[in-house]
Amino acid sequence: MRIVITGTPGTGKTKVAGKLAKILKIKLISLRDIVNKEKIFRIKNREKIADLKALDRKLKSLLKNEKDFVAEGHLACEIRMPADYVFVLRTHPDELKKRLSGRKYRKEKLNENIMCELLDYCPQRVLKVYGIKPIEIDTTGKTVGGTAGKIKAMIKNKKKKGDKVDYSKELMKHLGLKKHG
């Protein structure tokens, strides 16, 4: 089983993927760890910028003979990997803001990630890069174990429809706009 878990930073990808890999007893692949270990990034304004082409090459090499894995990372929506399931973890922007603030994200980076969540960036990228609609899972107020269990059950039951996530009202509020009509 080849499972990809992606989403905006702070949605729970790393913890959920770790728990899921443990439950399913399959290999866990962290894109962040690969980027750091292989030093396939550059620094710009004190921020790591991954080299997506180098990461893509490394993943192709690493995954060539892998049949069972959970791959996770926010960059997983940017690079097509072999996958039986692609999950995008989603979190309400208010909760996401708390999580990222707790990680001491700079205001600019925090706002950028909130906007990505509001604009459905990761689901849209998965649709474009993989050519499939991802399975969205709302992690707002959920535990790591509960989310991993839900994903396991979906896989067991071959269910490819996730949660309905719509932050359009929050986006309008964030932009200071009122809904008309």
| Residue 1 reports pLDDT greater than 80 | yes
pLDDT, mean of residues 156-175: 90
Share of the chain above pLDDT 90, in %: 85
pLDDT at 181: 52
Give domain limits for the chain.
2-174
Write the pLDDT tens digit of every residue in 119-143. 999 999 999 999 999 999 999 999 9
CA distance 66 to 69: 7
Of residues 52 and 172, the one with the higher pLDDT is 52
pLDDT at 34: 97
CA distance 28 to 30: 7
Q: Do residues 147 and 136 touch, judged by C-beta distance below 8 A?
A: no
Cα distances from 75 to residues 59, 86, 122, 152, in angstroms, run 12, 13, 9, 22
Q: Do residues 9 and 93 touch, judged by C-beta distance below 8 A?
A: no
pLDDT at 61: 94
Which CATH architecture best describes the domain 2-174?
Answer: 3-Layer(aba) Sandwich (3.40)
pLDDT, mean of residues 95-100: 94
pLDDT at 146: 97
Per-residue confidence at 89, pLDDT binned at 50, 70, 90?
Answer: very high
